[in-house]
Homo-oligomer: A and B are copies of this chain.
């Protein structure tokens, strides 16, 4: 069971009181002996300690208390906890340590998290730390840190278990035991040729039930599900989900193995990508951090672009209204129904767009399904429009008589149907032109439907009223 907020909060306050007052007394002994505090922390899991440290730094500005708490933990544990903190907190903590202390922590971090942190450091610090590292470690770090964000290379770790081609099962098991403390996972093993080429994979489970004298090459699976370093991280997460993998091996252009993406990192990527899609659905740009932490200026920038663009797009609605000024003047009651009609069309259209965008993101809907989806939307949106027209018609009669009711009902069906089909098709069109289908956001779709809805509504009104006028 996860610790509840109250427990974490209480412990945080304990740590705060102890270390902040200790620091203010200029090095005086903390109220509780560090051993006792270390013991208490020992009962808490790393992500929970991470949350405490985050609260210490974020809410209380008590960086020194966070650093002191980290110092209470064993080194590998401290490195693990550090990996759960947001980048800027990691940076602040490492900034408070001297090179030797920082290096001790960095060495124990997962290679992927170490590379991320490394990329945040200033040039001087980076150089200073690199100089102190062993050559092999330095090259591994430099390589991992060099991959572009958002691709497999940037989320993979180099801490995997490689088995040399030709090893026996018992040799391989020995190797698993040796690498167990350092590897991110020992449950999926990768068989490499002498030149580092990935030639097969096997699960630890397979290895354990195989005859000890067998050669790994005879039991491994040769057709390996893998990704290249430059594959998009969302594709990696999808492969992991589709094939229920514990880890996905990552290779360079020459099929040489360079790392793995583990299931837990793939799950984090999937959550990040879902958040990004949800935000895009409202025309919000990609946020690297949670909404509670992202700098206000960034939040402003990520929101303002489309809002301003859509202000200008909305001018078309205004132009439509201006064009039909005579119709409006002749029957002012019509304005009463304007927000209702364009709002309804926008809602139905945003629904249709969202269903397609999410269907595409999860792989449920492909470009080839376009025709089928169009047919389905025609039926559903037609029914929706009819239902909503029936709901609004009585109000039309009440407000303006039969002619207005007819205008409003006919407009409702037309606008809802048009809006839904537009919302449904837009993601396909974007995909077709190699653009992100998620650009078909609710604000964009509703804005377009607003403008077209105005024209549809007043065109129908002008026609019906002219007919009624001619009839009268």
A residues apposed to B, CB below 8 Å: 1-2, 5, 43, 45, 47, 176-177, 180-181, 186-187, 204-205, 208-209, 223, 225-227, 239-246, 263-264, 266-268, 270-271, 274-275, 277-279, 281-284, 290-293, 296, 299-300, 303-304, 306-308, 310-312, 314-315, 317-319, 321-322, 325, 328-329, 332, 335-340, 342-344, 346-348, 350-351, 354-356, 358-359, 362, 364-366, 368-369, 372-373, 376, 379-380, 383-384, 387-388, 391-392, 395, 442-443, 446-447, 450-451, 454
Contact = CB atoms under 8 A, between A and B. Distances in A.
B391 A308 contact: yes
A211 B233 CA distance: 40
26 contacts: A1-B225, A43-B223, A47-B244, A180-B209, A240-B267, A245-B264, A263-B264, A270-B274, A278-B278, A278-B281, A282-B351, A282-B442, A283-B347, A291-B364, A292-B359, A292-B364, A300-B384, A307-B344, A307-B347, A307-B384, A308-B387, A310-B347, A311-B391, A315-B340, A317-B343, A343-B446
A314 B335 contact: no
A187 B181 CA distance: 15
A199 to B, nearest CB: 15
B290 A364 contact: yes
| Dominant secondary structure at the A interface | helix
Given A180-B208, A267-B241, A443-B350, A359 B2 contact: no
Contact of A311 (B244, B359, B392): B392
Contacts of A246: 187, 246, 263
A371 to B, nearest CB: 12
Given A282-B351, A338-B338, A338-B339, 15 more contacts: A5-B368, A47-B244, A186-B205, A246-B263, A274-B278, A277-B278, A281-B282, A292-B373, A311-B391, A314-B340, A314-B343, A321-B339, A325-B332, A343-B446, A347-B447
